[in-house]
Amino acid sequence: MYAKYLDQIIEMNKQGGGTKLPAAMKSIVSGEYEQAMLNLYTHTRKQGYHATPTSSGRVTTITRVDPGASHAISIDACMDLTSMTFVDTSGKVVDKGTLRRDNFQLDRRNGSLVISEGNSKKVATCDA
C-alpha cells in the first residue's frame, strides 16, 4: 500500500496537481488524510509547476509501529524523492525533491488498508 502511495505522489507531481483526487489515490486514502491529499493536489496545481517525466522516488524505510486502540495499523516510513526535479511552464528548474518521513495511521475499508490520518515532513536523513 505504501509503494502505491509513493507512486501516486510521484504521478501527482508529474501532472502538476489537480482539482480532484484521481481514483487511484482515492482508493488508498480516507477521512482527514483524504482531505489533506486534496489540499495538496489543489495547492500543487496553483503553484504552476510540475515534476519532469523522468522524476522518480523510492521507499527507503518502512516500520510498523503500535497503532494504539483507534487504528488497524500505524507505520513510520521514509521516501527518497531527491531524484525529482520540478520545472515551471517554460521548463526552468524551480526546485528539487527531498527526503520525506511519513507517520501514517491506517484503517480497513472494504477489505483494504487506507491511510486515514498522518503527517509527512521534510527530513535531512531517513535514518531512524
3-state secondary structure 10-60: HHHHHHCCCCCCCHHHHCCECHHHHHHHHHHHHHHHHHCCEECCCCCCEEE
The sign of the torsion formed by the CA atoms of 90, 10, 100, 124 equals negative
pLDDT tens per residue, range 29-74? 999 999 999 999 999 999 999 999 999 999 999 999 998 788 999 9
Task: Please compute the mean of the pLDDT values over residues 99-128 and round it to a whole number.
Answer: 92
pLDDT of 10 strictly over 70: yes
**Residue 125 gets which letter from DSSP?**
-
pLDDT tens per residue, range 88-98? 999 999 999 99
Distance CA 115, CA 28 (A): 6
As a whole-number percent, the residues of the chain with pLDDT over 90 amount to: 88
Please report which confidence band the pLDDT of residue 127 belongs to, taking 50, 70 and 90 as the band edges. Answer: confident
Please report which confidence band the pLDDT of residue 128 belongs to, taking 50, 70 and 90 as the band edges. Answer: low
Cell, residue 58: 523510492
As a whole-number percent, the residues of the chain with pLDDT over 70 amount to: 99
- The residues, ordered by sequence, that sit 6+ positions from 80 with a Cβ below 8 Å of its Cβ are 57, 58, 59, 60, 99, 126
